[in-house]
Amino acid sequence: MSRWLRQHRYACLVALRRLWSQPFSSLSNILVISLSLAIPIIAASVLVSAQPVVRQIPVSPEVTLFLAPGSAPEKATQLAKTVQEDYRSDVLRVRIVARDQAMKTLKANPAWADALSVLSTNPLPDAVVVTLPESPELSRQASSLAQEWRQLENVDSVQLDSEWVRRLEAILGFVRIGLWLLAVGVALVVLATVFNTVRMQALTQREEIGVARLVGATESFVRRPFLYLGALTGIIASLVAIAFSALALNPLNAALARLANSYGTQVVLHLPESLSLLLAVVVVAILAALSARWSVTRNTRF
């Protein structure tokens, strides 16, 4: 066990020396990888910060059934009863919005008060507002019910509310897919950068590797420092990328705060949770080590 630890400690020290011996090259490679990693981290921060805001929005849609103009108030009560009884399993609750109540609510709004004051009669219809329960196929079910309710007697039109919420959820789904594709692209950047770095190191130390083999060094002994070189490069680049992302969120949050305040709300971008960031560092280190192994295997066959 102690021999195994000594071998790995030696390989790690050799990798650190190789990084330190070529500071400009090492720094350039680390910056390339870290800047590439910072992009998906910032994108993930936006996605993680937006999800709680979306969850606070009620996603159970309300379907509003507007009665035909001139319908008697009793028709609204009858329609609400019909919907409640015939669609008991599909409806969460039903409420009636009388035309006088709707007009009173609009007049209470200063933006509408002056315009409505010139009307001699109330042009608004009675309405029945139906709230649907959440379900896995909420969008399809709501559209189907709205289509059926358009055929009911005394119903002039049907409005399906909360459509924009489902659109927002679809946008977030699109962003998630884009983030995964971006992560794949960044992984390719990491692989290519580490592969080229290890390749240059292997060619530079060609004679040293040849001598080590002549004196009986095993292939694992020869490859191990390069694997550590790739893993250390990935770990350092990941930590630098997290630091870059944290710094970049400061001006983004300042600009976002001004925008959110104009809408009377508050949104703050923050990094993903620590466990996710740690997992990302481990994944990058593994990818970098695999790339280093591939490179050293291909470029030390002499």
Looking up residue 114, the CATH number of its domain turns out to be: 3.30.70.3040
User: pTM for the full model?
Assistant: 0.61
Q: Tell me the three state secondary structure of residue 17.
A: helix
Average pLDDT, the chain: 78
The pLDDT, as a whole number, for residue 292 is 81
* 275 vs 102, higher pLDDT: 275
First-residue to last-residue Cα distance in the chain: 32
Structure tokens at 34: 């870290």
State percent of the chain over pLDDT 90.
3
CB within 8 Å of 167: residues ≥ 6 apart: none
Residues 26 and 39 in one domain: yes
The pLDDT, as a whole number, for residue 239 is 92
Q: Read off the pLDDT of each residue in 125-134 and give the average, rounded to a whole number.
A: 83
Q: Read off the pLDDT of each residue in 96-119 and give the average, rounded to a whole number.
A: 75
Query: Above 50 in pLDDT, residue 302?
Result: no
Report residue 201 CA to chain centroid gap.
Answer: 38
* 243 vs 170, higher pLDDT: 243
Query: Above 60 in pLDDT, residue 246?
Result: yes
> Where do the H-state alpha helices sit in the chain?
2-21, 23-55, 73-86, 99-107, 110-117, 138-149, 163-204, 206-214, 219-262, 274-299
The domain boundary residue, chosen from 133, 161, 189: 161
CA distances from 230 to 197, 249, 286 (A): 8, 28, 9
Report residue 300 CA to chain centroid gap.
Answer: 42
Query: Above 90 in pLDDT, residue 7?
Result: no
Residues 68 and 38 in one domain: no
**How far apart (Å, rounded) are the C-alpha atoms in residues 270 and 41?**
10
Query: Above 60 in pLDDT, residue 278?
Result: yes
Residues 7 and 117 in one domain: no
Residues 37 and 179 in one domain: yes
For residue range 177-234, list pLDDT tens digits in order: 877 887 787 778 777 877 777 777 666 666 666 666 666 666 666 678 888 888 888 8
Please name every residue paired with 159 in a beta bridge, in sequence order, or none if there are none: 64
Residues 32 and 173 in one domain: yes
**How far apart (Å, rounded) are the C-alpha atoms in residues 122 and 127?**
14
Which of 52-61, 202-211, 241-250 is least confident? 52-61
Domain hosting residue 66, numbered range = 62-161
